[in-house]
Amino acid sequence: MITFVFRRLLLTLLTVVTVSFVAFVCFGKSLDPSYPLVVSTDQTPRHIVQRHYHLTDPILTRYWLWVQNFVHHGFGRPVSTSVADGQVVESSTRIAPELWSAAWTTVQLVAYALVITISLSLLLGTISARWRGGAVDTGVRVLAYLSWSVPAFLIAFFFRRWFEGGQTASSFIYGPQTVSHTGHPIFLLGAPTGGVVDWFQHMTLPAIALALGLVGVYSRYIRSSMLVALSQPFTTVARAKGLSERRVLVRHALRTSLIPFVSALALEIGAIVGASMAADWIFSLGGIASLTIGALGRADPFEMTAVVMTLSAIVLLFMTLADLMVGWLDPRARVTAR
């Protein structure tokens, strides 16, 4: 297991480095942070900004300079277009602290949504498999198809509209509108400010909105896997030994069904993290989505590269945890790893 974790860490490092190169090249070639100065009659400030950030240098040279700066100063500071006395006035803030805070919010949201997704998927999938072909199975399948067919961002939008009110379709473009609360609402908007109750009030609606778009497909995974497991010889032997149907269902069929379920969930981690950004933006959580919108508005290739690297690290973190879970559930995976 230690060897497996070490290999995954090396793979994660290699992947993040590759992502940094691809992201830097793509954003460096397509984004020009000096664009606000284009309309100025005096182009000297723009040339100063371009020279300061090496915007006209070859892209590989710029990437190497960025790597050297990253080794010594981390992600550095956001791009500034303020010029005084022939020099660029650097931003007073740094990218890293704000990025770590936003990333931690996104990790909490994804983890919370995964807990809800796994719990509801196991519950609904098991119920559907236990009473397959009946009214309960049909009802669960209908709900699963409905959940599956509605994207997470739309669920999040309607959740905010129903629970908070005052939201319009322009919220997708210009950001969520501010809502003035009256009384003591159960759910709150914005980033958590401290305490378990406050965290629950801020994070629950976005997590449920994100999870409901996933429960439909993964409850179907559980149902299909359990139906296959219940028809296998080992469940027949378990019943012949006198085990109750509940124990056969939970101890044997469900445990076997968790292996393909976790593997399928691991393959979708990237899409789940991407969908979490929509929920983050709609509910004003202050996660990576808000940081991404701000960086795109400034056309900052350096901050966008930092954001993409952080997102890739989050995806790889959850994928590694999923692989460890598969290894714990399936002894064959541990043997293969060794």
Q: What pTM was computed for the model?
A: 0.79
Supply 14's token pair. Answer: 């290699």
| CA 63 vs CA 53, 54, 204, 303: distances in Å | 11, 10, 40, 13
User: In the prediction, which pLDDT does 308 show?
Assistant: 92
The Cα 59–Cα 37 span in angstroms is: 22
Asked if 33 contacts 81 with a C-beta cutoff of 8 angstroms, the reply is yes
With a pLDDT cut of 90, the percent of the chain lying above it is: 10
Q: What residues contact 102, with CB distance under 8 A and at least 6 apart?
A: 286, 287, 288, 290, 291
Element at 120 (helix H, strand E)? helix 95-130
Indicate the domain borders of the chain.
Answer: 2-88, 96-337
Asked if 136 contacts 116 with a C-beta cutoff of 8 angstroms, the reply is no
> What are the tens digits of pLDDT across the range 202-216?
888 889 888 887 887
Is the per-residue pLDDT at 141 higher than 90? Answer: no
Instruction: Measure CA of the first residue to CA of the last residue in the chain; give whole Å.
Output: 8
> What are the tens digits of pLDDT across the range 11-54?
888 888 899 999 999 998 888 888 888 877 888 888 898 888 88
> What are the tens digits of pLDDT across the range 168-178?
555 544 454 44
CA-closest candidate to residue 99, choices 64, 75, 70: 75
Element at 273 (helix H, strand E)? helix 269-282
CA-closest candidate to residue 189, choices 172, 174, 205: 205
| CATH number listed for the domain at residues 96-337 | 1.10.3720.10
The Cα 215–Cα 227 span in angstroms is: 18
The Cα 16–Cα 194 span in angstroms is: 31
Q: How confident is the model at residue 164 (pLDDT cuts 50, 70, 90)?
A: low
